[in-house]
Each structure stands twice: as C-alpha cells, then as structure tokens.
Chain A
Amino acid sequence: MTDKEKLLEKYSAKVYKNRKEHIVQLEETCETQSIAANTRAIPGVMTARGCCYAGCKGVVVGPLKDVCVITHGPIGCGFYSWGTRRNKAKPDEHTDKNFVPYCFSTDMQEPDIVFGGEKKLEKAIDEAMEIFDPKCIMICSTCPIGLIGDDVQAVARRAEEKYGIKAIGYSCEGYKGVSQSGGHHIANNGIMRYVIGTGDEAPKTKFSVNILGEYNIGGDGWEEERILKRCGIEVLNLFTGDASFESLKSAHLAHLNLVMCHRSINYIAEMMKTKYGIDWLKVNFIGVGATCKTLREIAKYFDDPDLTDRVEAVIADELSLIAEDMEYYKSRLSGKTAGIFSGGSRSHHYQVLLKELGMETVIAGYEFAHRDDYEGRDIIPQIKEDADNKNIESIKVEPDEAFYHQTYSKEQIAQFKEMGVEIDSYGGMIPEMNAGDVVVDDYNHFETDALLDSKKPDIFLSGIKDKYSIQKAGVSSRQIHSYDYSGPYAGFNGAVNFGRDVTMALYTNAWSLVIPPWKHEPMLVGRIGGGY
C-alpha cells in the first residue's frame, strides 16, 4: 500500500472522494502533478486552517506599525491576534508611533449585535482619535459584522471626512472564502486601492526594492535588509512586517518588487505590475544558496557592473563568515529526513535550506495554498473558480497615467527568463520534490499523525496546533510559523540559526530519557543456584 492509500484508507466514501484530490504521492515524472487546493475544508476533519479575518488582520494588516487597527466584533478575535505572530516592528523615520504591541477592539455586546454596531464603531474611532491620534485607522470585521449588516466602509469614509485621516474598512468576516487566503486577498485589495500610490517620497538610489510577502517574523526582514543594504540595494518597504502606512504610500516608486511569500501577496505584485509597470521577482532568502541566487538575480535585473561586483563581494564575505558553522550543522544533520506543513510558502522555501544541511524533505503541505503554489503560476489559467472564491473580490487596475513606467520590454523580460531570472513568474513546489514524497493540501490532524507513522521523518516543521502531538509521538518538532520564538531564519545568519535550532531539536539530551531504565531491565535479579 502506498503512503497515500494508507492515508485515505480510514475515510468514509465522501471524505475519501474529497481528500484523494488533495493528496499527491509524487511519481517519477518530469512533469508536475496536479493537486486540488483552495477549496473548502470538510467540517470535522480537524483542519489546521484559520479564517479570513486571520488572513486579513492577523497576517497582512496587523503588522502595519503606524496604523490603529480596530477589530470590529466581540472581544475574542482581537485578543487572539494580539502580539501572537512575531511580526517585529520598531518606529523609524516614517513613524514615531508603533501600534503593534496594542490590541484595539469594539468588544461588541449583545445590544450591539441586536441593534447594529456602527454607532459603537464610530464612537470607538472618536476615542482612538482623541487618545492616540493615528494618521490611519483600519477596521477589520469579524463574523457577526456582515451578518448584522454594519457598513464598515461607510464608517471609514465618515471618519476620513471628520478627521482628515486615512480610514479603511475591511469586510474580512471569518466565514468568507475557505481559509486565511481570502483575507490576504481582501487586505491586498485595500492596500492597493487606498494606500499605494498616494505618496511621493522618491527612492534615494537607483536600486530600490520592496520586499512583498515579508512579515518580519523573528526579524527575517531585518536580516534581508541588512544583506541588501550591504550590496547597495535600497529597501523601501517590507510588506507588511515592520511596514508603515506612511512608507507604503510611496511603494509604487520602487524600481523592483521582490516577492517572498507568493501566496499572501502576489495580488499586489501583479496589480503593481499592471498599474505601475514594476516588475516582480520571486525570491527566496531561506537558505544560503537561495539567498545567493536571489542576490545574483537582483543584480542581473539591475544590470549594473558595480552592483554586480558588490553583490559578489558581499556573497563571498558572508559565505566566509558562516561556512564553518554551516559545515558543522551539516555534519550533524546529514541524512536526516523532514516533513513540513506550513501556510502557503515556507514548505517550498525551507526545502532548499534543509537540503543544504544534508536533509531531505519527504512530506510537504500547505494550509491555504492555491494550485499555483504547488504547480507553478503557469497553471493559473486552468484553475476553475468556485462559489467560495468568487465571493472574494478581484479588483482590476489600469496603467497609471502619471506613474506607469516599464523598465524592460517584453522581449527583454523573456531574455531574463531564459537566463533563469524568475521575473513575474513562480515555479511551484511539486516539481522540486522527489518521487515517493507526499504532498498534502489542507492537511489535517489525522493525516499528520498517519504520515508520521508511515514516513517516519526525523523532524517535523509545523505549527503550534500540531507541535506537541508530534513531539508526544517521539518526533522532533519545531514551529515553522513562529520559529519557536527563535530566528531570524532568513539570509546568511538565519541559515545558521536554523541549523542550530534543528540540531538542538534532534539532539537535546532529554530524548534519551523518554523510556525509564527499568523498562529495559528485568525486575528480578538472581544468581544461578549451586554456584557456591
């Protein structure tokens, strides 16, 4: 029986029919294999997925440090997304106000549900203005808001008129879409529509970039910024880790967009390409080789001999600083196997780094990816929309009269692609994995448990909901969403941190203490008689 068959064996006919499309055991083939993704989860299967609000407020909007993000709803949603995602931020020249450590909510009560919550929301905005005086307020809706018909966009417009600030209402009710992914899209739309393009702060250099889909978890974005700065590349914005509303306004003036988490933010990359002509480059700062490749592709894109030389010098220097550490961790980790279940990008990114450490990834899956994350962007025209996706608005943008500027012609872009520079494209995870490996979309608790049993990986990288059940099963487990409060894992220094943490997870002394000594020793100790 294949691993896939073992996973499906326990399911009823209905669940089997659904799940078999979401699980792929890779075969020896040079073509990508298709997988079902971004469809609704089956009730009761213990999916790891969260909701639309989590994707909008928790992932994209929450990290904006100079924005007072008000959760409109009962207290829970705001509470759970308060300081729990590790999107690090510090005030900078664009903003002296850092709202990230705070939680704002309308804390709706029963009368607000019965009679409507708009009044309370407006009052909450008045109070926020009086106490905090933010330049921008964003309102994130929770489940009841859409049901009772509160118009958060109208409230936002009224707040703008009253206070002369920017206010944006997001209808990101938890039930929308099928996962966090819908919330990412809704947040992207709002930022594109109301924020990007409203500023005029020009880049200081001719090599300026935004890093899209970098949430600065554990300081990843800062490590990327450090490296790029050394190369002479100016980072205008991290989207949206350590980002500010003030700085995002001028994001459209960047020379190039780098895309880290393709899943959560490719909408903005695409829309900025259409509206402003800015090319986007799919990058990966996870892994030493991946980081070098990314830096070289950026240099190729800018096609400047001095920049290319600087990039090579930085790479050589950074490599010399970490070579010894990486060699050591590789010596401890070579031959080990891993499983990774993450949100929508890391399962792909981290395979590169694991490989550098001598490890093979045998199980990989995503919570909320779409088919293009598995199979590459070429598959997008073939993706059929269903009712759940259609409920998430897709906005159309037109070239901006004032700011549209194309750096390269279509022919030149095609030439770049031939050189292996991933401009405006993304290759997907499945083609890079090996025959026999198992890929799971919208993984659930049962499948995680069963795969541990059949594939027996040495370490499993997943989230907090799985972490302790995996560890209880005797398998080393680390959180790849929060890095178990460690990090950064990106860039050159991050690779060393990751190597250290995985080594620690596998070799910590407590593993040898799990079985008590008496389980291996006979209770009765005696001598064979007649010896005296």
Chain B
Amino acid sequence: MMDLTPKEVKERSALRVNPCKTCQPVGAMFAALGVHGCMPHSHGSQGCCSYHRTVLSRHFKEPAVASSSSFTEGASVFGGRSNITTAAKNIFDIYNPDVIAVHTTCLSETIGDDLASYLMDIDVPQGKVMVHCNTPSYVGSHINGFYNMMMGFMNYLTKKSGTSNEKTAVFPGWVNPGDIRELKRIASLMNVDTTFFPDQSGVLDAPMTGKYVMYPEGGTTLDEIKGLGDCEGLIALGEIIGIEPAELLKKKWKVPYALLPMPIGVTYTDLYISELRKQSKTEVPGELEKERGRLVDLLLDSHQYTYQKKVAIFGDPDVVIGLTSLVLEMGMIPKYVITGTPKEEFTRKINALFDKYGVSDCVAKANKDLFELHQWIKNETVDIMIGSTYGKQIARAEDIPFIRAGFPVLDRYGHPLLPIVGYIGAIRLVEQITNALLDRFDRDVSDENFEIVL
C-alpha cells in the first residue's frame, strides 16, 4: 500500500499529491442543504454537481439533492445566462423548492458569468426565492465555499425589522447532523432560544418512514434566515469558517458575535457553554455539569494509556483545531497537525495550543497534503492518526491505529449520526481513541504479558 511514497521529503510547489481539501462548490452545496426546502444549484458543467452529490451521499448515506446548469461548449463560449434561466424554470416546475441556492464553479467563474444580474432577470414564482454566491474552485477550499453560501443567503435575505426576536443565532460550522443535534440540546439546556444556520439535521439524517420526501423536515427556514438580523447575538463556532459570515451579520445588522473554536473537548465546550450562559443569563444546569464531570472522570481514568502518545491529526481547520485541543487534554502529543485549506490563521491557532500545553517538536501546517504527512510519518512515526477516510491509506501502509473524524468519512455507517462536539462528543472520541490504543496494545503484546484487566 502506497509503495511509491518515498521517505525523503522533496519540496513541491506545483504538484499536489493526495489532497487534504477539495473545492469550494461542494461546501456551498452542503451549506445550502442545511436550509429547509432548498434546491442547491451548481452553475457549471454537470460533472461538478454529480461529483458533489456523490461525495455528500457517500459521507451521509443519504440522498443529496442538487441540480446543474449543464453547461455545454456553447454555453462556455456564450455564457450561462440561458442555462440558469431554463434551469430555474424547470426546477420550480418539477421540484418545487422554496428556494434555489445557486453557486458558481471554476467554469462559470472563469468565463465571468454575472449571476447577480442573471438572477435579477429571472421570473421567480410568487413566494419563492433564488439566492447565489460565488465559489471559484481555484480559491481556498470547500471551507470557503461553505461560508460563501452562508453569506449568499444572508446577503439576499436578512433584514432588520427593528424589533429583536430575542434569539441567539448559532453558526455551527461544517459539522455532522449528530453534532448539530448535540449543540442544540446544549443550547436548549442553557435555556437559549436559537436559530441554527445552516442546519443539516433532519435533512442529511432524515428518518426512514417508507416514504421519500425531497425536502424533509429540517433545515433552517427562510423566515429564520430573514430573522438573523433581528437576533440578540450570534455564536459563530469555528474560528476559521465562522469569522466571515459573523463579520457580515455584524456589519450589515450590527448583531454582536462571539467567535469560538469548534466545541470539541472540555475547554472548547466550556467556552460554548459559557457564551450561552452570557446570552441567557442562566446558570449552567446540573445535567451539563455532570456530563462534564463524567468526561473529566473518563480522562483521568484513561490517561495512562494516552499520556505522551503521539498523534497525527489532519482535515478541515476548525475540526482539527478542536481535536488538537482534545488530545492535549488527554495528555497526548499532537506530533503532526495539518489542513489542506490554505489558511495561515490555522497554523497560528495550533501553535498557540502547542505553547499553552508546552509541547515541543510538533509540526502544524496549513496548505499541506496527505502525501507529505505520510512522508513525515515515515521519518518519525506516530501512535495514532485522526482524520478523514483518506487517511486509511497511510494508516494501513504504516500500521497505525486510525480514528475517523471530519469530512469526508466515506467508509463508516452511523458516523454522522453521532456527535464529536460537546462533552458527550468528547466522551465518544476519548473512548474511540483509548480503545484503538488498547486494541493495538493487546494485538502486539507477548502472550506472557497479555492481560485480562487493563
């Protein structure tokens, strides 16, 4: 497995090998699926739409509906105005969504299609809306696409009525439906009335009923999006993915925000709960304190198996920052921490964590790929890896225990239904990480040292 990966690291500036990121439009499609009654629309060739729906379906094991402008060579020369106009009519006719959320692709961006003006000229049926955002695939990563689509919705729909709706907006960032459910449960225990945007719970974990519905119950409603400007405050989770949409809401409607790291692990979940406490001015209920206590208890119980164990973490910036904080709480050494997304802020955040816990000889890099991570591991190995499914190639090649977290996870079932955020999510991760290390210990230990009790 991966026999062509040499140990010697040579500098590359042009060849990306085994990427740890993908392109903007899939992020836009995923974000749009978190809006109720929404048809995400890809303004480009059919292949983009097909690839994005495919990767989303493979991660969530759910239908991911989206349509395409089906560019041909002619459209690429003359522009995609008639494609989007025809598409809009057909989508409203056939699939009847409340909203069509259009994102661009590298094709329509390169030819300079002016979506804002095209959309203005489209005859949108009464009560329906179309929004758009620009997602050039050659800038940033799928993370940019995700927040660009959030901003597309906000640019088109938000307003301020002058009366507060007494709600707190929460931007959960790029997480699974199981995470959103957990974040909502915590907010509800903290007595905070929230609008989650976007919200894929209910949409990308729709229950089996024997009847297929294209727009299942779930997703942020258009009214909720419109009301974002009337919110008392905003909690944006994920400092990389959350900053731009939070800034937009502040600039546009003066909604103050708290920008927090993804609540993974004890410290970052504490931050989320502390912020909710500020918003609701309610004391933290015993239920949450007990959950926290159980998590810390587990960390102490299991620390001897995780202490000083080296870990490689890779994936999207905010999830990786959260995971790094958690493994440091577990006493582990985050030896290699990378994201493919080109955001230098990521490196600063991770280095700050290294400093906080006083770990040395660890590497944090943005804009890296899994090929290079593999080479680093060949030079100095780790005890465990945490990241998206593509890490399994390295894990197999180097015989390293591997925990899946982040996007995409293409080879596990039930994964997106359960959280990694909050104290409960951390308990899940600590159990997974500790068990993987214990399984490895049991596998490798000699017969005379093989023990029943650990």
A residues whose Cβ falls under 8 Å from a Cβ of B: 10-12, 15, 40-54, 70, 73-84, 97-99, 101-110, 112-113, 120-128, 130-132, 142-144, 146-148, 173-180, 387-388, 391, 445-446, 449, 464-474, 514-515
The answer to whether B26 has its CB under 8 Å from any CB of chain A is yes
A12 touching B16, Cβ below 8 Å: no
B12 neighbours in A (Cβ, 8 Å):
127, 131
Cα separation A54 to B50 with both chains bound (whole Å): 10
Cα separation A123 to B88 with both chains bound (whole Å): 42
B residues whose Cβ falls under 8 Å from a Cβ of A: 1-4, 6, 10, 12-19, 21-23, 25-26, 41, 44-48, 50-55, 57-58, 61-76, 83-84, 86-91, 93-95, 105-107, 110-111, 136-139, 141, 206, 208-214, 340, 371, 390, 393, 410
B436 to chain A, nearest CB (A): 23
B14 to chain A, nearest CB (A): 4
B13 touching A46, Cβ below 8 Å: no
B106 touching A47, Cβ below 8 Å: no
A80 touching B55, Cβ below 8 Å: yes
B13 neighbours in A (Cβ, 8 Å):
123, 127
A90 to chain B, nearest CB (A): 11
Known: A43-B70, A75-B22. A128 touches B47 (CB 8 A): no
Cα separation A515 to B209 with both chains bound (whole Å): 7
A54 nearest in chain B by CB position: B47
A510 nearest in chain B by CB position: B208
B375 nearest in chain A by CB position: A131
B67 neighbours in A (Cβ, 8 Å):
43-46
B14 touching A468, Cβ below 8 Å: no
A102 touching B54, Cβ below 8 Å: no
B106 touching A144, Cβ below 8 Å: yes
Pick the 9 closest A-B CB pairs, nearest first: A51-B47, A76-B23, A44-B87, A174-B45, A123-B14, A44-B90, A43-B87, A74-B137, A107-B16
A469 neighbours in B (Cβ, 8 Å):
63, 65, 212, 214
A44 touching B15, Cβ below 8 Å: no
Q: Would you list 30 pairs from A and B whose C-beta atoms are within 8 A, ordered by A residue?
A: A10-B94, A12-B90, A43-B84, A45-B67, A45-B94, A46-B94, A50-B47, A54-B47, A54-B50, A75-B23, A77-B23, A79-B21, A80-B52, A83-B393, A84-B54, A98-B4, A103-B18, A105-B15, A106-B16, A108-B138, A113-B136, A123-B15, A124-B14, A127-B12, A142-B106, A175-B72, A449-B212, A465-B53, A472-B206, A472-B213
A514 touching B136, Cβ below 8 Å: no
A41 touching B4, Cβ below 8 Å: no
B294 to chain A, nearest CB (A): 31
A45 nearest in chain B by CB position: B90
Known: A74-B137, A174-B47. A44 touches B86 (CB 8 A): yes
A175 neighbours in B (Cβ, 8 Å):
45, 71-73, 75-76, 107
A465 nearest in chain B by CB position: B53
Cα separation A84 to B26 with both chains bound (whole Å): 16
B210 touching A446, Cβ below 8 Å: no
Cα separation A470 to B137 with both chains bound (whole Å): 31
Cα separation A153 to B454 with both chains bound (whole Å): 62
Cα separation A40 to B95 with both chains bound (whole Å): 20
A51 touching B50, Cβ below 8 Å: yes
Cα separation A122 to B13 with both chains bound (whole Å): 11
A132 touching B4, Cβ below 8 Å: yes
Cα separation A505 to B48 with both chains bound (whole Å): 30
Known A174-B107, A468-B63; 11 more pairs at CB < 8 Å: A43-B69, A75-B19, A99-B4, A123-B15, A127-B14, A147-B111, A174-B71, A175-B71, A465-B54, A467-B57, A474-B211
A481 to chain B, nearest CB (A): 10
B75 to chain A, nearest CB (A): 7
Cα separation A70 to B18 with both chains bound (whole Å): 11
A104 touching B16, Cβ below 8 Å: yes
A473 neighbours in B (Cβ, 8 Å):
210-212
B22 neighbours in A (Cβ, 8 Å):
75-76, 79-80
B41 neighbours in A (Cβ, 8 Å):
44
A143 touching B74, Cβ below 8 Å: no
A144 touching B10, Cβ below 8 Å: no
B106 touching A73, Cβ below 8 Å: yes
Known: A12-B93, A175-B73, A388-B73. A101 touches B1 (CB 8 A): yes
Cα separation A175 to B43 with both chains bound (whole Å): 12
A258 to chain B, nearest CB (A): 29
A44 touching B75, Cβ below 8 Å: no
CB < 8 Å neighbour of A75 from B3, B94, B137, B393:
B137
B69 neighbours in A (Cβ, 8 Å):
43-44
Cα separation A76 to B76 with both chains bound (whole Å): 19
Cα separation A98 to B397 with both chains bound (whole Å): 14
